[in-house]
């Protein structure tokens, strides 16, 4: 167990399952119009180096609904690395607020802040990982299928979203087939940790370059953008490289019963067609909704140190 929520491989299967169970409870309570105020008087500082709709809105809303407060800090206001060091920012915030949410380019930056902060640091996406997304993804899968049996296929770029999905599958013992170009497999350091977790959990992780092989008979087909935030200069090159990895009606013929997942935002017409993204098998808005519930459970877990009984 970690004080921080930076990488899913830092957490045990038992902890992640408890967070997911609490997320389900919080979603049910909200549907009944009940909102526990478990974070009354608590404050979350949110630092965003990159744009965000879902992560920003769901974390801020989660804090408000749980009785707490969230404040937004932008790079131009606080100047991490220019006005003062990451360490000084993290140590100051530790004296005032209860947790830090950070969306940064560099993964090393959130690790550095977490190391010196006395309060929990939550990874709201780095170039390497997007653990909060993967929690909502698993929650969405669990709403539609038996987690033990579900076959999840991820097609496209082995990016931050794929890396965290891989870690989630590895810790929780899921079946995940990845199809990416050989040059864009998930990061080696993530694969190594995931393989170690998978050996303990019994997760079935496989990789190929062939999207058809990956999606054949799958229960879920997941994709994400080919050009992530910060990679805009490579967009044309990436469009060519990933051309055969588009999730479209032709590919989905190999997985006719599969639900379609996407973390959003989508680059419509690139990694996924409108027809599939907006089609009857798409559960992308459930995924987006679950960000709110999964993150409430993560916030409770790291701020309170334990989930409410």
Identify the active-site residue in 22, 42, 130, 191: 130
Measure the CA–CA gap between 181 and 143, rounded to whole angstroms: 30
How far, in Å, CA of 73 to CA of 45, rounded? Answer: 7
Residues 6+ away with beta carbon under 8 Å from 288: 54, 136, 264
Closest CA to 184 of 136, 143, 226: 226
- At what angle are helices 86-96 and 107-116 packed, to 10 degrees? 50
Q: Pick from 121, 150, 170, 225: which binds ligand NVA (CB under 6 A)? A: 225
Q: Map the footprint of ligand NVA across residues 253-272, applying CB under 6 A.
A: 263
- How far CA 29 is from CA of 33, 36, 177, 199, 213, in Å, comes to 6, 8, 34, 36, 40
Question: Interface residues with ligand CP (CB under 6 A)?
Answer: 52-55, 125, 133, 263-265
Binding-site partner at residue 160 among ligand CP, ligand NVA, none, CB < 5 to 8 Å by type: ligand NVA
Single out the residue of 100, 161, 198, 277 in contact with ligand NVA (rule: CB under 6 A). 161
The nearer residue to ligand CP, 263 or 297, going by C-beta atoms, is 263
Q: Which of 290, 222, 226 is nearest to 259 (CA)?
A: 222
Q: Which of 163, 223, 228, 290 binds ligand NVA (CB under 6 A)?
A: 228
| Active site (annotated) includes residue 291 | yes
263 is catalytic: yes
The rounded radius of gyration (Å) of the Cα atoms in the chain is 19
Q: With CB cut-offs between 5 and 8 Å by kind, which of ligand CP, ligand NVA, none does residue 140 bind? A: none
175 contact choice in ligand NVA, ligand CP, none (CB below 5 to 8 Å, kind-dependent): none
- Residues classed as catalytic: 103, 130, 133, 224, 263, 291
Binding site for ligand NVA (CB under 6 A): 125, 159-161, 224-225, 228-229, 263
């Amino acid at each position: 167990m970690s004080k921080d929520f930076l990488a899913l491989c830092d957490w045990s299967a038992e902890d992640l399952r408890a967070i997911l169970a609490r997320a389900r409870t919080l979603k049910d309570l909200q549907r009944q119009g009940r909102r526990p105020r478990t974070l009354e008087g608590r404050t979350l500082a949110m630092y965003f180096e990159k744009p965000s709709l879902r992560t920003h809105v769901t974390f801020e809303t989660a804090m408000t609904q749980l009785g707490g407060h969230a404040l937004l800090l932008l790079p131009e206001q606080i100047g991490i690395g220019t006005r003062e060091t990451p360490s000084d920012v993290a140590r100051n915030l530790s004296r005032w607020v209860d947790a830090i949410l950070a969306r940064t380019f560099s993964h090393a930056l959130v690790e550095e802040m977490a190391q010196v902060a006395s309060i929990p640091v939550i990874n709201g996406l780095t170039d390497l990982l997007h653990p909060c997304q993967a929690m909502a993804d698993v929650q969405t899968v669990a709403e539609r299928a038996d987690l033990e049996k579900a076959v999840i296929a991820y097609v496209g770029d082995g990016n931050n979203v794929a890396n965290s999905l891989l870690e989630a599958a590895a810790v929780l013992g899921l079946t995940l087939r990845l199809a990416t170009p050989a040059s864009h497999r998930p990061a080696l350091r993530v694969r190594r940790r995931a393989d170690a977790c998978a050996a303990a959990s019994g997760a079935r992780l496989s990789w190929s370059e062939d999207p058809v092989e990956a999606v054949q008979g799958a229960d879920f087909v997941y994709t994400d953008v080919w050009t992530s935030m910060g990679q805009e200069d490579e967009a044309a090159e990436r469009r060519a490289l990933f051309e055969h990895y588009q999730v479209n009606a032709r590919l989905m013929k190999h997985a006719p019963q599969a639900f379609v997942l996407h973390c959003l935002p989508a680059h419509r017409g690139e990694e996924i067609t409108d027809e599939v993204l907006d089609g009857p098998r798409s559960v992308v808005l459930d995924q987006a909704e679950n960000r709110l519930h999964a993150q409430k459970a993560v916030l409770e877990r790291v701020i309170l140190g334990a989930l409410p009984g």
